[in-house]
Amino acid sequence: MSTSQDHPVADRTRAASLADRLQRLMESERGAAARVINFGAMEDGHAGLTFGFEVVDAGDAPLGSYVLKMAPMGVVRRGNTDVYRQAPLLRALRKSGLPVPEIPWASPDEDQLGTPFLVMERMPGRVFLVWEPHESFSRAPAQLREIWLQAAALLARVHTVDWQQTLPDWEKPQPLSEEIGRWTKILRHAEDPDWLAAGTRLGTLLASCRPDEAPVGLVHGDFQPGNILYANGRAGGLVDWELAAIGAQGLDLGWMLMMIDAEAWHPGWRPVAPISASDLIETYREAGGPAFLNMKWYQALAHYRLGSIACLNVKLHRTGKRPDTLWERFAPSIPFLFARGIELAERATALDPEGSH
């Protein structure tokens, strides 16, 4: 949800250089006659460092359609800025049967494209941008509800992956205390003192009533329909694994509950989500999902995470370091996110196993 642009001319220059490097890479991988066409930033979302392209042969016959993800330049490669870490993850998950993209090429080095990268085969479908769905999606409430129910069932599949067998050497489990601390550091970038005060209060509440971390397993980190490819109304590929980790899986369902909660958003920026929290949780449980306890606390944590992310990205936008008008439109929801998170955290206790809403 962030971009890398800082100046139109500089952006065009970098894009041209990247296209040249990508062309040389494809020639080395697919043969001297291979040609890159339709290269450009992805239209859905605000990824910035995500590009689409196709490869054809000398006779313009298609050789493949791909998505390129790149690490930002000049930034420490850790967590979501370490793009290459997704390559072994996605390869393992695809082998285990999850609907994730195939990774034909990836590198942790800078010699080929100037920064670490991974190239994924483009999967069919279109993501459901929850605030502004593409016009191709039906606006019928029943069909919109189905979008979310399918997402909940897919989340159960993610959470039932045997990570110790599938991803034994990928990463160590991340404790909840570290998860809270991670976003505390991001929150410090809030330029509005009211945002900082509300976010700080929410973080303190979360730390004071932290629940049992079980179940621990694979966490997507940004699980919602905006990261699922839907084709003909059916959920298919699951993308955007930048925030993936091994940790407390309640985080993912809490994130979805935040997305559908009208009280979490400014009236002018509410996700299209005609579904109740109870229906979402029940669908996840029926599909075998194990992480449905302490949901008020986990939803409050989602508010803390996204509110902190928004504070940083609004600052980057307003200072011109990373312009993206989406965050200006998002900004009025920040106090709603923190206020609703505080309300949920105050109600959450370790003795509330059902986390009912």
Residue 194 sits in a domain whose CATH number is 3.90.1200.10
Residue 336, pLDDT score: 98
Name the residue range of residue 330's domain.
126-347
How much is the pTM? 0.90
Please indicate, yes or no, whether residues 193 and 340 belong to a single structural domain of this protein: yes
Domain contains 353: no
Please indicate, yes or no, whether residues 105 and 152 belong to a single structural domain of this protein: no
| CATH code assigned at 75 | 3.30.200.20
- Its sign, for the CA torsion 189, 190, 193, 194, is negative
Distance CA 192, CA 169 (A): 41
Domain contains 357: no
Please indicate, yes or no, whether residues 239 and 303 belong to a single structural domain of this protein: yes
Residue 16, pLDDT score: 81
Residue 354, pLDDT score: 47
CB atoms near residue 92 (< 10 Å): 20
Residue 17, pLDDT score: 87
Residue where one domain finishes, among candidates 57, 88, 121: 121
Residue 15, pLDDT score: 73
Please indicate, yes or no, whether residues 276 and 158 belong to a single structural domain of this protein: yes
Residue 76, pLDDT score: 60
Task: Give every CB contact of residue 201 below 8 A, 6+ residues apart in sequence.
Answer: 338, 342
Residue 280, pLDDT score: 98
Residue 75, pLDDT score: 62
Please indicate, yes or no, whether residues 45 and 115 belong to a single structural domain of this protein: yes
Please indicate, yes or no, whether residues 153 and 287 belong to a single structural domain of this protein: yes
Please indicate, yes or no, whether residues 116 and 138 belong to a single structural domain of this protein: no
Which of the residues in the chain have pLDDT under 70? 1-14, 43-48, 73-81, 349-357
Q: Give the position of tokens 């040249």.
A: 20
Q: What would the pLDDT profile of 326-353 be if each residue is shown by its tens digit?
A: 999 999 999 999 999 999 999 986 445 4
The number of folded domains in the chain is 2
Please indicate, yes or no, whether residues 258 and 341 belong to a single structural domain of this protein: yes
Please indicate, yes or no, whether residues 143 and 232 belong to a single structural domain of this protein: yes
Residue where one domain finishes, among candidates 81, 98, 121: 121
CB 109 within 8 A of CB 116: yes
Please indicate, yes or no, whether residues 87 and 219 belong to a single structural domain of this protein: no
Tokens of 351: 């003795």
Domain contains 248: yes
Domain contains 352: no
Please indicate, yes or no, whether residues 91 and 27 belong to a single structural domain of this protein: yes
Residue 44, pLDDT score: 57
Residue 350, pLDDT score: 45
What's the mean per-residue pLDDT of the chain? 91
Residue where one domain finishes, among candidates 97, 121, 145: 121
Domain contains 2: no
Please indicate, yes or no, whether residues 162 and 223 belong to a single structural domain of this protein: yes
Give Cα separations from 158 to 107, 214, 228, 342 (angstroms): 25, 16, 13, 29
Domain contains 147: yes
Domain contains 132: yes
SS (H, E, C) the chain: CCCCCCCHHHHHHHHHHHHHHHHHHHHHHHCCCCEEEEEEECCCCCCCCEEEEEEECCCCCEEEEEEEEECCCCCCCCHHHCHHHHHHHHHHHHHCCCCCCCCCEEECCCCCCCCCEEEEECCCCEECCCCCCCCCCCCCHHHHHHHHHHHHHHHHHHHCCCHHHHCCCCCCCECHHHHHHHHHHHHCCCCCHHHHHHHHHHHHHHHHCCCCCCCEEEECCCCCHHHEEEECCEEEEECCCCCCEEEECHHHHHHHHHHHCHHHCCCCCCCCCCCCHHHHHHHHHHCCCCCCCCHHHHHHHHHHHHHHHHHHHHHHHHCCCCCCHHHHHHHHHHHHHHHHHHHHHHHCCCCCCCCCC
Domain contains 330: yes
